[in-house]
Structure 1
């Protein structure tokens, strides 16, 4: 099994030349990061990911969490790794200084989280959810709840979960049945939640569950859902831990992948009701939870990038080492000499680099929003909102292809668990499902993010892409790639026009519009990278091999991925008539 190495050079290139990290730091008042602190942060993250978390990845896959007398027991070695992770201050990167955080930009946290997710995605799900819970509490909770719960989450002493799904309420949250009955200064929570990632473990002193439930007077549907903090152990007035709350993991799911991450069935109220505390106003729970979900959706998009990078490194190493085939002179060659293996590796490499560019850009846009003036905030919020379903949907779908190619490059050995390639495919399969399926991301994109403003935010993005492409200085070898990307913008405009003229077709065409935009934004940023690489190659100290490879990789991406835009447009223009034509009984 190949070792993981954080692709530091490419990550740094994206920070410097796609995101303009130094300009961002100046804009948000963090010049210390641009002057070297970010280098130290990334170096330390790489060290922990490569040396501590990555070796536990296969262990977690083979020896997943189990449910015992003490509750859920995590994979051996995970607790020690988490202790090192927390003591090093990693959970506190982006949290406010008032709660013990370091208040660093999100884009640095994104680069760091790529390390965690690539090195050990099952482990990294735990801090990912905690980060989202911190965001939700900071945005919606009372000062009293913030004072009690946020600081221990920021320090990593405690972890957090998101409790939405129930046996009869999956994506349809309107069907939630969990109840919350007022009792003095708290509520009694009863009900069952399923698919709760890291719902129980022994790595932290306490686990804070964010739980959706209904009050006795709640109206029907999603407008009647409230959000509650339900700690595993109750917290005393002085901050110390009290008695065990009536919230327990009663079983673990047996899953296709991410075995090291316990997915729990949580029961609240088997012994009279779990004590919980209302977050925000009554009946506004879904809006509160969406703060955490949107954070998590970008995080899952990052997982798509990260697991694809890990699969690519694994396949690249195998292709370099595996001797297969003979030349005319009788010499034996490795897999890298075969054009079709090169094709697959280049699909993996270029796809990963496009995902990284979009992921970091979306994260940096969030940083700009956080420090924006009132006049700038609306447009930046619209851009962040637009990026989120594309990041989550397109990147996790592309990860299915990339990790599958990793298995294919291994040939028959890829179908054998011992080589390790299959784990990345299995682990990646959850990504288009949790935190909102691909179809839900597409509905969000076409509905809330496009039709709701009559396409204004998307039109503005396409205009910016079009203008930048028109002014790009690229070598002649990339003229065809540039034309393909410009044609992709025209295709996207046509797709948008179709949606606006046929809003009832939105559910039928949403996924294809989302994928179209993902490939287009990837091409735009790959060509931006190629232009920067050409410019930098003229400097005396330039790493010419790396910079030339950036241009060649962009060329390949535009030749092999951008033609898919026309395919998605053709499907969009066909509408949904054939989709719904067959009688249900004929399936």
Structure 2
């Protein structure tokens, strides 16, 4: 498999030149003393060394060995446990965690880039730590002070891990159907009984304890999603002094045999009267769990970017080395039998598509990280409210569009290799398999699209959308003579018109929103990337360095060859739902 090298130049370009993160951090009091550009550079450098030197070498062997289950115990592939220990000792699990409980308190703008490196190096390995970080976020936001003091320090340290237990055999996207029960014990704890499936890291040998966040229903709970509560259920019980005690009555019944991410243990978890503690208020567990779910949705979106970035690096190197046929204009290497395949137009089309979509996604992830930092740390109420609205609007776009683009890019990378892309040794077929799950878990991309159109656009009459659209309009107005401003404005106009159309049609036809949802999200995603590319082009303009010239050339490619996809997508979104319901179920 091709060696991984973190794209540090591009990451620094985004932080320092496109979004001016150091200046933002100085306006957020909680971050002023924690982070500056020098520290950010040092963190990125260290993350890159760990990704390339520690985690990436385990990617292929981890896929070949996979996680193993025997008698309720899960063993991760050779080298994972030692690597995870090193990773945890460096504080990476708690990188963005609350310093009050031992986290490093770093900004999200920085942590999204570190997550990309981890996913690019080894998606299976990265999942263990990102699930823990998400569990910590939910506990920090919703748990009692006693629970936070008892569990968060060891979780931030990486000695204990976290898991998210939502799905049941009969209840996936519709969590209101869950059957897991919680009954109160005499000491105020709860007995949790039920079965959860598809639990990433539900059992593993990397940490001495696993803190499961479990959705369950109390005996008197209202029906549906309004009756869901959230519970903290440790694998091993913890005493009042933080010491591990007896094993809780929670066990892994089996692990799944999957298409990809084989080194990540995907578990069936059985809770047999397991002792747990309520997190937040009774019957409001789904809202509390969404704190973790939204974190994981962005994280899984970044998995799409990371896998695409790894595939792109390998494809570029291969295209520069592999010699087949002659360039259209004639031989480029006079003393060789053929030219490298990078001279061929179709190979360049694939590579530029990968480059444009991956770098656009990286910029959008950093932008969303910026909004998360403002929402969390800004002292100004209006700034926080605006950022929170943008985060709500853009999270489903990020999860779905990053991962749809990630699969497309990994397939392009495989295609550049030709037949070699289909066989084991080059690593491209593993990336295709590993990235595919990202479109499915943490809410399928169809669900993300439905969330975007119904809850984030239609439900508030386009209020959140207007905030984002106004920002793009303001950017265009301050860049009237830049090459991409007019085209960005035209594309935004199409999205605004499509949004208005759906606001009108969906109000009278309940099928319209669902019928248009995926196409609408893709139109939104391409225009969001266009905004990112316009911002990157502005930052690169007038600079002679090859890096900046490549940025400008890639921006031109994006606007010329990829942004036009919105034309057909918009037409499809406007086509309505009628054609979807012409056939009866028995005619399929």
TM-score band, normalised by shorter chain: over 0.9
67 and 474 in structure 1: CA distance in 2 versus 1, 3 angstrom threshold: farther
Residue number in structure 1 paired with 2:117: 115
Cα distance in 2 for residues equivalent to 1:215 and 1:37: 47
Cα distance in 1 for residues equivalent to 2:101 and 2:354: 40
After TM superposition, the structure 1 stretch with the greater mean CA deviation from structure 2, 179-188 or 550-559, is 179-188
Q: Does the residue aligned with 2:455 lie in a helix, a strand or coil? A: coil
- The Cα shift of 1:300 comes to 0.8
Contact 1:474 1:534 in 2 (8 A): no
Choose from 183, 186, 190 the match for 1:187.
190
Cα distance in 2 for residues equivalent to 1:493 and 1:140: 37
Cα distance in 1 for residues equivalent to 2:21 and 2:89: 27
Residue number in structure 1 paired with 2:256: 253
Cα distance in 2 for residues equivalent to 1:488 and 1:40: 39
Residue number in structure 1 paired with 2:284: 284
- 2:348 counterpart of 1:342: yes
Choose from 400, 409, 432 the match for 1:425.
432
Choose from 221, 234, 239 the match for 1:236.
239
Choose from 449, 457, 473 the match for 1:442.
449
Deviations 1:3-30 (A, max 9, x none): 0000000111111122211221111134
Choose from 57, 64, 67 the match for 1:65.
67
- The Cα shift of 1:45 comes to 0.6
Q: Does the residue aligned with 1:193 lie in a helix, a strand or coil? A: strand
- The Cα shift of 1:419 comes to 1.7
- The Cα shift of 1:252 comes to 0.8
Q: Which residues of structure 2 form unaligned runs of 5+?
A: none
Deviations 1:493-548 (A, max 9, x none): 1111011101231111111111111100101111111111014x1xxxx6x11110
Contact 1:234 1:245 in 2 (8 A): yes
Cα distance in 2 for residues equivalent to 1:527 and 1:517: 15
Contact 2:136 2:152 in 1 (8 A): yes
Choose from 486, 491, 500 the match for 1:488.
491
- The Cα shift of 1:473 comes to 6.3
Deviations 1:332-371 (A, max 9, x none): 2111111110110000001101000100000111001112
Cα distance in 2 for residues equivalent to 1:460 and 1:215: 39
- The Cα shift of 1:237 comes to 1.4
Residue number in structure 2 paired with 1:78: 80
Cα distance in 2 for residues equivalent to 1:573 and 1:113: 37
Note the 1:52-451 alignment, pairs <5 A: 52-69=54-71, 71-184=73-186, 185-269=188-272, 273-326=273-326, 328=330, 331=336, 332-372=338-378, 373-451=380-458
Cα distance in 2 for residues equivalent to 1:109 and 1:467: 28
Cα distance in 2 for residues equivalent to 1:207 and 1:6: 30
Q: Does the residue aligned with 2:439 lie in a helix, a strand or coil? A: coil
Cα distance in 1 for residues equivalent to 2:73 and 2:573: 49
Cα distance in 2 for residues equivalent to 1:72 and 1:161: 14
Q: Does the residue aligned with 1:578 lie in a helix, a strand or coil? A: helix
Q: Which residues of structure 1 form unaligned runs of 5+?
A: none
Cα distance in 2 for residues equivalent to 1:139 and 1:208: 16
Calculate the aligned-residue CA RMSD, in Å: 1.4
Cα distance in 2 for residues equivalent to 1:396 and 1:343: 20
Cα distance in 2 for residues equivalent to 1:378 and 1:39: 30
- 2:475 counterpart of 1:472: no
Cα distance in 2 for residues equivalent to 1:215 and 1:507: 32
The TM-score, its normalising length taken from structure 1, stands at: 0.96
Deviations 1:73-93 (A, max 9, x none): 011100000000011111121
Cα distance in 2 for residues equivalent to 1:370 and 1:69: 44
Q: Does the residue aligned with 1:265 lie in a helix, a strand or coil? A: strand
Cα distance in 1 for residues equivalent to 2:190 and 2:463: 43
Cα distance in 1 for residues equivalent to 2:129 and 2:529: 28
Deviations 1:169-189 (A, max 9, x none): 111111101111111221111
Residue number in structure 1 paired with 2:564: 563
Cα distance in 2 for residues equivalent to 1:191 and 1:320: 54
Contact 2:386 2:467 in 1 (8 A): no
Cα distance in 2 for residues equivalent to 1:367 and 1:31: 12
Q: Does the residue aligned with 1:333 lie in a helix, a strand or coil? A: coil
Residue number in structure 1 paired with 2:547: 546
Residue number in structure 2 paired with 1:584: 585
Deviations 1:40-68 (A, max 9, x none): 11111100110010000111111100012
Cα distance in 1 for residues equivalent to 2:463 and 2:17: 27
- The Cα shift of 1:31 comes to 4.6
- The Cα shift of 1:474 comes to 6.0
Cα distance in 2 for residues equivalent to 1:238 and 1:316: 54
- The Cα shift of 1:35 comes to 4.0
Deviations 1:297-356 (A, max 9, x none): 111111111111011111111111212114655642111111110110000001101000
Size of the aligned set, in residue pairs, is: 574
